[in-house]
Structure 1
């Protein structure tokens, strides 16, 4: 029978494994896109794009624009400030540090990466038209935010809400032809990987500080 500490270590190890897998998938997809698919979509991208265009309705466009606007760069920054500020007001210091680190890292990676890859968007995009299609920053930010919040608060409702929000965001970006399907998939894995990485690093620091506070001799041993 596992001790409480062993179960706790296992619960922290599982997200790290998922994060490592997400990093691998994101890197492989990035390599494929930059190597052979920078100027042309995958066949599955084309089929999905055609399906989205064929299914467009006025009501669908309204529904699609909601997450697209909310997940825009300016509002994403506002969202970051509001979430972190709320956590600080509640004096959940470590949670605030974790969320701030995750979102800052996500923004710092996704935006420059999209400019570096410079993948062409669909010609009939109803949103952005600049060649910064891969990865989807909207989806990366959404996935990063919900991942880190779900890991912090560990309630199934966070996972359900997060899954719905990310799927809605990914669908909206392809429905508006702002991205290819592979762009939003890349954004998803990037966001999940960054969220887990930030959580794992900050959680490790927090636990070590807590252990040193509980047992001051640990600090003497590490000196």
Structure 2
């Protein structure tokens, strides 16, 4: 997926946003549909994959594994995940003169968190019984995974490199694994979180595509000039 600039007569980039809009809307719709399915399949009718995965995670628990999962829990949520990470990232982007990137990071983080809370209270899914970490109300979708997916997309947009997208995907998968490892979420909760977080980030990408692309091109030009 790319938003390629096209020079127009007034020298402003025209950015293709259709793919981002379609992908973002599709991801949010898929998250909503999945939420409906897991609500219907509550109680004794839970998804077999959720039950099997939860049993596997309990069987794999070790002191080191729990330490890693608790670390991901702290990084992906609470004060660190909700405030320190987005604000810190925005400050860095402002320092390197990418204010639109900073705005995108902050707005996407806040919008993703808001969307997750709406879905949590709408579906009100119970968390697994083997949870070993304190969490808020509602199991679907995973806020930690939504936050990870949002960051992955936002950073991928700001620094459009293949390795950045790969690292973002790995980070999101590790976050999903850690949430189920701690018993804080069902496997389908993490999928819903990834869809919600990515969907919000993609739609905001489309909304801010022109200034983001203009800023990226200018920033790249300054970097090349510094090397000459």
TM over 0.5: yes
Residue pair 2:148, 2:175 contacting (<8 A) in 1 also: yes
TM-score (norm 2): 0.81
Stretches of structure 1 that go unaligned for 5 or more consecutive residues are 209-223
Matched, 1:91 2:92: no
Matched, 1:188 2:194: yes
Which has the larger share of helix?
A: 1
Matched, 1:73 2:74: no
Partner of residue 140 from structure 2, selected from 134, 139, 142: 134
SS for the counterpart of 2:200 is helix
Instruction: Report the RMSD for the aligned CA atoms in angstroms.
Output: 2.5
Find the counterpart in structure 1 of residue 131 from structure 2: 125
Find the counterpart in structure 2 of residue 105 from structure 1: 111
Residues 4 and 54 of structure 1: CA distance in aligned 2, closer, same or farther (over 3 Å): closer
Partner Cα separation in structure 1 for residue 114 and residue 5 of structure 2: 37
How far residue 128 of structure 1 moved from its aligned partner, in angstroms, is 2.6
SS for the counterpart of 1:5 is strand
TM-score (norm 1): 0.82
Residues 44 and 91 of structure 1: CA distance in aligned 2, closer, same or farther (over 3 Å): same
Q: How many residue pairs are counted as aligned between the two chains?
A: 205
Find the counterpart in structure 1 of residue 51 from structure 2: 46
How far residue 132 of structure 1 moved from its aligned partner, in angstroms, is 1.2
Residues 130 and 92 of structure 1: CA distance in aligned 2, closer, same or farther (over 3 Å): closer
Residues 164 and 46 of structure 1: CA distance in aligned 2, closer, same or farther (over 3 Å): same
